[in-house]
Structure 1
Amino acid sequence: MPPAVLVEHVRKEFILRHNRAMGMKTRFLALFHQSKRERREHFLALDDINLRVEPGEALGLLGHNGSGKSTLLQIIAGILEPSQGRVITRGRVAPLIQLGVGFNPELTGFENIFLNASLYGFLNRDIKKRVKDIIEFSELAHFIDTPLKNYSSGMQMRLGFAVAVHLQPDILLADEILAVGDQPFQEKCHARIAELRAQGMTLILVSHSSEQVSKFCDQYVRLDQGRVVEEGRIDKNTPTPSPARS
């Protein structure tokens, strides 16, 4: 059986532009000399990353801030293009990566459910069958006709999570999203993830919590400075090695 997610020799490089503090005279000269205006730095965020996740498996991505975890997740989601290498995904991908992605702050929560679900390829008639369950799960019925710009970040996360997990994704990409809400709501999110995993959903989870990775994942990969420095299977009876400092 082909893998659900295949990452082959992925490399991602960014160009960082450092603007220099300039006086009026220097600013005028900079109009004619690019080198006087800014300094460019090449930053290698990911270097030769190779991953394979089978259908129904769960992979945890660990590492300190700046190690490349979120960049890798965005490449798998198709938000970023790799500088080199390739990524292959099979099935519907639901990325829970950045707050507000796929939402319009001027629309109501109800309208944003349809907008967000349409990005996953669902038609209005399909969304209507799920909208009641989405609203109930999010616990936002009292605010669902309010513009999203009036929602707190936690409320937006609730709505985004509720939409994603009720559209039966084949692959769920989650970047620290399981920390959303209070303890009862987190437990409900965890139960929903476990339910989807039992139905065969593939999960890739970015987390600073080795306990969370141990709970949800079958294998883990640790990144440091854009490279894989450790990987392995997870023994549910043995704690996953703690991530580097955050």
Structure 2
Amino acid sequence: MAASAHAIEVRGLGVRFRRNRRGRRSFKDLFAGSKRRARPGEFWALRDVTFTVAPGESIGVVGRNGQGKSTLLKLVAGVLLSDEGSVAVNGGVAPLIEITGGFVGDLTVRENVYLTAGLHGMPRSHVAGKFDEILEFAEIGDFVDTPYKHLSNGMKVRLAFSVVSQLDEPVLLVDEVLAVGDKAFREKCYRRIDELLADGRTLFFVSHSERDLRRFCTRGLYLDKGRLAMDAPIEDVLDRYNADYPVG
């Protein structure tokens, strides 16, 4: 079978959630009734979304809050399952989304680096070879044997970004991670993403920052009311979005 020409392929994607209680549907809901009709109390967060991403492309996802951007990112990452349609990723993903999730408070920084990288499939020998570089990037070498729960929020984000950005996966998923941290750290993140893009990685980037979208992305996907309203060069997508929802 020939290898896929797409880094990401999304066809007729749809996912729904409940308004009136926490969590996704029950197992009974999953196996009973039609998949295509939302039941009372449910709404479609995404519906009939179709697009492809070529290897090495840099895609920016644009839209207001609550329009399905982060949901789409989680579906591509494999964190969520769709209710209809399909999403396929050719190769693994490096998910810079909710990046401090999965770290264990009572474990030390050292232990968390090995644990988190291992959960993402990085061999222990590879982690050992990258360990000093990870700590240097995160700027927390003096805290290597400190329990993770005692780090500041900024230190936790720096550590998480440093670990995940070392993954040798072809697709990089980014969700607003550059909105946190101080200016110096954000610039360091920008340079790291530039390096990954220069290495031929595919970028799938959700952000409200037009500056960041213009810097990293050549193409945009505009989500509105859970549907794909526009798929075009990033400048055209931002122009359409700003026309639809002008500031002030």
TM-score, normalisation: structure 1? 0.85
Q: Check the 8 A contact 1:8/1:87 in 2, yes or no.
A: yes
> What CA distance in whole angstroms lies between the structure 2 residues aligned with 1:79 and 1:45?
15
> What CA distance in whole angstroms lies between the structure 2 residues aligned with 1:96 and 1:245?
29
Higher gyration radius (CA): 1
1:6 is aligned to 9
Q: Check the 8 A contact 1:218/1:233 in 2, yes or no.
A: yes
Alignment of 1:198-237 (within 5 A): 198-234=198-234
Alignment of 1:16-165 (within 5 A): 16-17=19-20, 41-165=41-165
Secondary structure of the 2:46 match is strand
- Per the TM alignment, residue 240 of structure 1 is displaced from its structure 2 partner at its CA by 3.6
> In structure 2, what residue type is equivalent to 1:14?
F
2:25 is aligned to none
How many pairs align? 225
Secondary structure of the 2:120 match is coil
Q: Mean Cα displacement is larger for which, 78-87 or 162-171? A: 162-171
1:118-155 deviation line (CA, Å, top 9, x unaligned): 12211211110111101000111122222122223322
Mind listing any 5+ residue stretches in structure 2 that lack a counterpart? 23-38
Q: Mean Cα displacement is larger for which, 215-224 or 92-101? A: 92-101
> What CA distance in whole angstroms lies between the structure 2 residues aligned with 1:93 and 1:227?
24
- Per the TM alignment, residue 183 of structure 1 is displaced from its structure 2 partner at its CA by 1.1
1:35-66 deviation line (CA, Å, top 9, x unaligned): xxxx9511110011112111111100111110
Q: Check the 8 A contact 2:76/2:89 in 1, yes or no.
A: yes
1:175 is aligned to 175
Mind listing any 5+ residue stretches in structure 1 that lack a counterpart? 20-38
Q: 1:119 to 1:18 in 2, by over 3 A?
A: closer
> In structure 2, what residue type is equivalent to 1:4?
A
Runs of 4+ in structure 1 deviating by more than 6 angstroms, as ranges, are none
Identity %, equivalent residues: 41
> What CA distance in whole angstroms lies between the structure 2 residues aligned with 1:239 and 1:8?
21
Q: Check the 8 A contact 1:16/1:40 in 2, yes or no.
A: no
Secondary structure of the 1:130 match is helix
- The CA RMSD over aligned residues, in Å, is 2.2
